[in-house]
Amino acid sequence: MSEIWSSLVECQQRIIMTLDRHCLQVSEPNLKKFNQPENGWVNLVWRGEHVRRGHVDVVDARKTKGLWMMHVCVFPNLDNNSPIYGFDVIAGKNKVTGAFHDFSTTTSDETHPLNEWFAEGMADYFPSKPRTLPEWATNIFSSSMLAAGNITDVNEIDSIIDFAVNNLEVYLQSLGDHASTADPKAAIVAQNYYCQNQQQNPHTPRVMKSLGLNEDDVNIFCRDVLFPTIT
């Protein structure tokens, strides 16, 4: 196994263990058919005292397509004005083609303590190859977002992984400090806006289909499961 893949598989386990410490794994009826670990497709969901929904989605196509992809997203409860935690990465054997990490605002702005803390952590990080973001992404991601591509330096990759995993721990520890800070109706609008913009991302379904997943399954998954809106 390549060093990059080893680091990312370990990252997956660290993130799952972190969510397990703070939340409870739950079963979502719509998600069950998409959790296919025997086929390299893993989908797990958590809920917690201050977490409305945490989701880890991994597509392991190293043997068939030479690629590995992970998506992590954690939404706070609707009475909580904390940002949304997000971390996405896709990698081949010898490089990470894309790595994205953010604390994306909901009903607060970037003066929220968690956003300011994230920005401070990002202040000294300069990706070797920054990525330009499309409009749907700039609509929802913070000005401090990490967006990097074509990373071949294992040390840089490990630095991103440590940053994302450590940030998840702090994020989950801190959510309780911001309970009862948001109007749930406003939070629904904010979280739906995030999901609706994420659903406009054409790259995710295209990559998932290229990894060999069933086209119909991917279309349903990206529309109804990956970023489900609140009705």
Position 201 in a domain: yes
At residue 223, the pLDDT reads 85
In a domain, 182, yes or no: yes
Alpha carbon separation from 218 to 47, 61, 123, 222 (Å, rounded): 24, 15, 36, 6
Rg (CA), the chain: 17
Spatial contact of 69 and 87, defined as CB atoms under 8 Å apart: no
pLDDT tens per residue, range 145-154:
999 999 999 9
Domain assignment of residue 84, yes or no: yes
- Here the CATH number for the domain that contains residue 152 is 3.40.1500.20
pTM for this model (two decimals):
0.96
Query: Is residue 90 in a domain?
Result: yes
Q: What's the CA gap between 97 and 73, in Å, rounded?
A: 19
- pLDDT tens figures, 180-201: 999 999 999 999 999 999 999 9
Q: Is residue 231 part of a domain?
A: no
Do the domain assignments include residue 70? Answer: yes
Domain assignment present for 199: yes
Q: Is residue 230 part of a domain?
A: no
Q: Which of 33-47, 125-139, 212-226 has the highest mean pLDDT?
A: 33-47
Nearest C-alpha neighbor of 175 from the set 121, 120, 113, 100: 113
pLDDT score at 7 = 97
Number of domains in the chain: 1
The whole domain housing 59 covers 3-225
